[in-house]
Structures are given as structure tokens and as C-alpha cells.
Amino acid sequence: MKRIIIAGTHSGCGKTTITCAVLAALKARGMNVTAFKCGPDYIDPMFHREVIGVPSYNLDSFFCDDDTLKYLLNEHAQNSDIAVIEGVMGFYDGADGRGSAYSLSQITDTPVIIVIDCRGMSDSIGAVMRGFLGYKCPNNIVGFIFDRLSERLIPLAKKLCEELGTQYFGFFPRTDITIESRHLGLVTASEIEDIKQKLLQLGKFAEKSICLDDITGISAPELTGYKAPVFPEVPAKAPVVAVAKDSSFCFIYDDNIEILRKLGCVIKYFSPLEDSKFPDDADGLYLCGGYPELYAERLSANTDMLDSLREKISGGLPTIAECGGFMYLHDIFTDMDGNGYGGVGVIRGKAFSTDRLQRFGYITLTAEKDDLLCKAGGKFRAHEFHYFDSTDCGRDMTARKSDGREWRCVHTNSTLYAGFPHLYFYSDINTAGRFVSACINYKVKNEQNK
């Protein structure tokens, strides 16, 4: 399998734009491409999906062991001409040696192209290159793409690559194509009216200025010798899991959905924004994160949906509600301006906006009691990324960061997980197994009561 990581010197250096440009150009050439994102980001894969028209997956070495990473990369990209993996933050940035693009490249033996933002630099570009090439050895850096490089400096960039024994993979010009940002990163792809045209234009830039033939000519060793994950056994009952999916709830990992399907679930998407009520035949609920604060008035006005959700959850419907989904379950949740709106009312209290990130980053959760996802003392990995907070974040789990900081969080019981931390089921597939088993029990109980 051909594969490449497009990493960067730092966040905001242009790697998302260049990754999308390369994907668009390769697709225009008729190639079968699979996209990936290193780390826990939700928004960048949305842009990948808009470019190639198929799902984009996450590869996260904090969440997953080495075997699982290799399994996921091979599972999703085995029939592709090439896999293009976008890095996260700066190439070497991660948590305790895990979670970085560098870590992923070492584990999967994947070649790396580094994007350098050359704005305001000339000869100093060489210092940046030398630093990245020599900071940790061995590494899999095979060359560089020079973003926002003046055309008059192209000869310098090529000379620097030759002197440092690395490869020139082209440059990307300054353009007036912009993708706006907001408080959690980029504006989502579905919100940009002319996204298709923008991505098409980016692909044309890539075809002209990036050395695509050299990129597609990069070879990498086959991924072999890894152990595939073991999926828990659950009864063959095909529970229906309703998954929120619309403009307000859009942060969900495709791999989480695929695991639920592999465990026998039927996935039914619904919209808390547009649908009049929650699906009657659902045996479980997955309320993912997103931007409920941007649609607070409309979500609150959909009282039939609120009422049906409150009734179902209070009646024991197995429910996972993470971050934005957790906010939505409160008595009151606010928009970005602090205006309060009525929520589902399962969580007593108020979710409110703040002016900075709250408890950002990777964490390990430990259950304080038996609950929907694990037994008392059980641990699994998660992450937080939100500007909102709550008057009652819960106390049923203990979150711990790698630097030793810890705090209590999350509301849990035998049928509920509700809190700010986002879940990735491949960090512990048994959590998904327990959720599915609870959905099956709910289904059987309802059938017996009919």
C-alpha cells in the first residue's frame, strides 16, 4: 500500500489546505484515494470527505496500540491507490510520546512530507528544515512542501533540499482561497457554500505547483504481522441505535459507527434540528458533539424532540452523550453570547459559554462505579476540546492527564454516559460491547412488555 503523511511545522502552517489540494488533484487524476487524519480532530476529515467523496478516518496513537493502528490503516486503505494522512499540530507534538504524527509515522513506517510556512522567511527556511530533519533520528521525513513561498525563492528551496539531502516536493502559492475558523477550529465543510469550487481550485494549484508524480512514486513497506482487534461477542439481536447527525451534531468518528455495525447494530440517523421527534424503534442513543450553541434557539424550539428524548432517556434508553450532546441534555444551555435556552432536561443544571478552552487534551478516564461503559475501576482513554462548561460536569469518573492533573467528571449509571469527554471505541472496544449489550437488553425488555 502506498501511503504518505503530510505533516507540518506547527498548527496553522497550511497542512490542511495542502492535504485537501493534494487529495483533489489525485482524485482529478482518477486515482482511488483514502484519507486519514492523525489525532482526534473531527473537522479536517469533513474536508477530506468533501474532496474524495468517501469517509476519512482518524489514526491516533494515544487512543490505539500499535497493532490497532496498523490494522485500521490497512483495513481502510487496502484497496486504494494511495493513502494520504494529514498530520496534527507540529510533526513532533503529542502526549508522552504518543498522539503525534511522528509517533504514527514510526509505528506504521510511513514516509513523511513536512509543510513549512515560508511567509516572511528566506535563508531561515534552511534552519527550519535542518531542525526537523535532525531533531529526532531516525525519522521518516522524505522531503518538504513550501507553503506561501514566493516564486523567486523556488531556486533557494530546491538548493536547500539538495544541500540537506532531502527531496523538494514543490511549493504552494499565496492564494485568496480562505477557509474560515471559529472557536473549535475550521468552519465545517458543509457550511461553506462554494466548498466544491474552492477545493477544485486548490486541486488545480496542486497539479501545477506540487510534485504529484514524486508523491505517488513514494514507496512504503507492507503492513504485516499485526494482530487484529478482538471484538466482544454480543447476542445476535440487531438493536437499532439512533445517532444524531446534522449541522448541530456532527462530531463523530466513522470508526465508532463501524464498530457498532460490526457488533450487529442497525444505525438510524436522526436530526434534533429537523425531525419532529426521536425514532420510536430506537434501542439506544448516540448524541455526539458538534455546535449546538450555534443552533440553540432552533434546538430549544423543537419541543416535541426535547420531550421525546427526555421520556426515552429517563425511561432507561441506553445513551451516550458527549460534549455538545451532553450540553444539549442540560436544563439550560447557552449560545456563544450567553443567552440561555431550554434543553432536554436530563442533566440538572446549565451548560454555559466561556472565553477559553476548558480541560483541553487527552485524558484517561477511570470509572468510580459500575456503569454503562465499564465496571468500577475500569479505564479507557478519551479527549476533551470545548469552550463550554457546566454547573454540574458529573462526578462518576475521574479524568487524569499525563502530567498528573486529575478531576471528577461525567454522569453515569447503568444506561447513561453523559459528559464532555469524547469517546473513541478502538481505545477499548469493550466499552462499545457493553453499550451494545445494554441496547439489546433494552430491546428484549420492550419486546417482552408488548
- The enclosing domain of 397 has a CATH number of 3.40.50.880
- The mean pLDDT of the chain is 92
Is the pTM above the cut of 0.75?
yes
Q: Which residues contact 24 (CB under 8 A, 6 or more apart)?
A: 51, 199, 200, 202, 203, 206
Predicted local distance difference test score (pLDDT) of residue 60: 94
Asked if 188 and 263 sit in the same domain, the reply is no
The proportion of the chain whose per-residue pLDDT surpasses 70, expressed as a percent, equals 96
Asked if 378 and 308 sit in the same domain, the reply is yes
Predicted local distance difference test score (pLDDT) of residue 182: 44
Asked if 434 and 314 sit in the same domain, the reply is yes
> Exposed e or buried b for every residue in 435-445, given b needs 16+ CB within 10 A?
bbbbbbbbbee
pLDDT surpassing 80 at residue 176: no
Listed residues 151, 181, 216: the one ending a domain: 216
CA distance 438 to 246: 25
Cell 461525567 maps to which residue? 410
357: pLDDT confidence band, cut at 50, 70 and 90? confident
Contacts 24+ apart (CB under 8 A), 37-41: 37/85, 37/86, 37/88, 38/5, 38/7, 38/85, 38/86, 38/87, 38/88, 38/100, 38/101, 38/104, 39/87, 39/88, 39/89, 39/99, 39/101, 40/362, 40/383, 40/385, 40/422, 40/424, 41/88, 41/185
Asked if 195 and 258 sit in the same domain, the reply is no
29: pLDDT confidence band, cut at 50, 70 and 90? very high
Q: How many domains in the chain?
A: 2
Predicted local distance difference test score (pLDDT) of residue 180: 55
Residue 235 lies inside a defined structural domain of this protein: no
Q: Mind listing the pLDDT tens digit for each residue in 308-338? A: 999 999 999 999 999 999 999 999 999 989 9
Residue 86 lies inside a defined structural domain of this protein: yes
CA distance 450 to 444: 10
Q: Is 402 exposed, middle or buried (0-12, 13-18, 19+ CB in 10 A)?
A: middle
Strands 56-59 and 379-390: unpaired
Average pLDDT value for residue range 145-170: 96
Asked if 56 and 187 sit in the same domain, the reply is yes
pLDDT surpassing 80 at residue 52: no
Predicted local distance difference test score (pLDDT) of residue 189: 54
Active site residue ranges: 323
Residue 232 lies inside a defined structural domain of this protein: no
pLDDT surpassing 70 at residue 187: no
Asked if 268 and 354 sit in the same domain, the reply is yes
Owning domain of residue 384: 240-449
Listed residues 181, 216, 251: the one ending a domain: 216
183: pLDDT confidence band, cut at 50, 70 and 90? very low
> Exposed e or buried b for every residue in 91-124, given b needs 16+ CB within 10 A?
bbbbbeebbbbbbbbbbbebbbbbbbbbeebeee
What is the 8-class DSSP label of residue 66?
H
Residue 179 lies inside a defined structural domain of this protein: yes
- Of 380 and 361, the structure prediction assigns the larger pLDDT to 380
184: pLDDT confidence band, cut at 50, 70 and 90? very low
Residue 134 lies inside a defined structural domain of this protein: yes
Of 12, 69, 71, the C-alpha closest to 44 is: 12
Asked if 168 and 252 sit in the same domain, the reply is no
Average pLDDT value for residue range 82-100: 90
pLDDT surpassing 90 at residue 342: yes
Asked if 212 and 244 sit in the same domain, the reply is no
Residue 225 lies inside a defined structural domain of this protein: no
